[in-house]
Amino acid sequence: MAEVGFIGLGIMGRPMAKNLIRAGHELVVYDLRDDAMEELADVGALPARSCADVAAASEFIITMLPDGPDVEAAVLGPEGVLQGAGSGAMLIDMSSINPSVSRAISAACAKRSVDFIDAPVSGGEPKAKDGSLAIMVGGAPQCFDRAKPVLDVMGSSVVWTGDVGAGNVTKLANQIMVACNIAAMGEAFVLATKAGVDPEAVWNAAKGGLAGSTVLNAKGPMVLQRNFRPGFRVRLHHKDLRNALQAAAAMNISLPLTGAPQHMLERLIETGKADLDHAALVQCVEEAAGIEVMAEQLKPSHA
């Protein structure tokens, strides 16, 4: 029996799966894309023919998929995880989805005597590669304890946040803070550029003060270097904020600040930029201001 099954080998899933292999776990993998499975097979994983086959061969089954409907299809659909998982197996959903979907999937798993936790992540591709993701876990404490050795391979921070669904509530809260941080950083850089001040100098000064943050350290250089290669795509952050706003609406609460970056993400998607990194939020502010943010040393006159 393979120890771990992994379903979903995208930008995040591939490096996460590779870290599990490096740590000595046997891995069975499945993805809709053959080339993604071939890449993992080259480093020792066993490709499967379906999600059910992954589950049948695994004690722990990890799903890392774009959104709730994808997880529902992979777990509950024909040839899904619950068609193959044995009694006592554990499903670890590391996707970022609506908490209500996590709870529904957990209930379906319970009927098959399959344990479930929701364990979404933060940190993007760089932290997926080096195994330093922040992992936010919802589920029974005993399930968290059982899964933690596996999660520790992929994350430097693995935190239990409450019952099933709490992991995804925490991730939605995280995504609100990240989006607002990136949008505010973009406005700050545009202001500096319009005023004739090198935005890189502003970045260097601000990161040592109260405005300093992991977001500023990670996304500031990307903007200054005009590097929008995706570590976390615009369309996925849009999905996360949509889930946050839907969850808020279900609880009759307003999230006015969340709406601002969500509108900016929608604008990027409408203009063909859905697959850029979410640092591209700055481009919405640039478009309105009629300028482009760039480190002074990279401008043509400094070449």
- Return the active site residues: 171
Q: If DSSP codes are grouped into helix, strand and coil, which group holds residue 36?
A: helix
Q: Residue 136 in contact with residue 161, Cβ under 8 Å?
A: yes
Helix or strand holding residue 63 (H, E) = strand 58-63
How far is it, in rounded angstroms, from Cα 228 to Cα 245? 26
How far is it, in rounded angstroms, from Cα 9 to Cα 12? 7
Report residue 240 CA to chain centroid gap: 9
How far is it, in rounded angstroms, from Cα 82 to Cα 65? 16
Torsion of CA 107, 112, 115, 118, to 10 degrees: -40
How far is it, in rounded angstroms, from Cα 18 to Cα 48? 16
Classify residue 259 by its DSSP letter: H
Q: If DSSP codes are grouped into helix, strand and coil, which group holds residue 233?
A: strand
Is residue 70 classed exposed, middle or buried when 0-12, 13-18 and 19+ CB atoms within 10 A define those classes?
Answer: middle
Beta-strand pair 2-7/58-63: parallel
